[in-house]
Amino acid sequence: NAGVTQTPKFRVLKTGQSMTLLCAQDMNHEYMYWYRQDPGMGLRLIHYSVGEGTTAKGEVPDGYNVSRLKKQNFLLGLESAAPSQTSVYFCASTRSGGSYEQYFGPGTRLTVT
């Protein structure tokens, strides 16, 4: 039982490049989330999904897109990376009908130059 995994762990992009971050969970959770963490800002929600095929915007969605084609996977895309997107990205999941406790992945550290 791996819990929540994220790929890759580290990445350096040049401005304008694109990439996709992959999140996978093996706990059969319905809800999944993408956050970004910046110093002194805590965690801010980018996008979330309440089920396969559904996504919704969070607090800071601009510049990102997401897809949830399979229940266990939640992808975060950057179409044209900007230096402001330099951050640590965390994926989390939780089950429906529960206490909202979220399980977090180990994070992806992204640097955009």
Partner 1 sequence: AQSVTQLGSHVSVSEGALVLLRCNYSSSVPPYLFWYVQYPNQGLQLLLKYTTGATLVKGINGFEAEFKKSETSFHLTKPSAHMSDAAEYFCAVSGDQAGTALIFGKGTTLSVSS
Chain contacts with partner 1 (rule: CB under 8 A)? 4, 30-31, 33, 35, 40-45, 48, 50, 58, 90, 92, 96-97, 99-107
Q: Of 8 and 16, which CB lies nearer to partner 1 in the complex structure?
A: 8
Q: Of 17 and 102, which CB lies nearer to partner 1 in the complex structure?
A: 102
Residue whose pair of structure tokens reads 């396969």 in the numeric block:
52
15 residue type, one letter: T
Which two three-digit tokens encode residue 34? 């993408």
**Residue 19, CA atoms < 13 Å, CB-side half-sphere:** 22
CB of 88 to partner 1, least distance (A): 9
CB of 80 to partner 1, least distance (A): 25
CB of 14 to partner 1, least distance (A): 24
Q: In a 10 Å sphere around its CB, with 0-12 CB exposed, 13-18 middle and 19+ buried, how is residue 88 labelled?
A: middle
Phi first, then psi: what are they for 101, rounded to 5°?
Answer: -60, 125
CB of 46 to partner 1, least distance (A): 10
Q: Of 27 and 50, which CB lies nearer to partner 1 in the complex structure?
A: 50
- Which of left, alpha, beta for 83 (phi over 0: left; psi -120 to 50: alpha)? alpha
Q: Of 12 and 41, which CB lies nearer to partner 1 in the complex structure?
A: 41
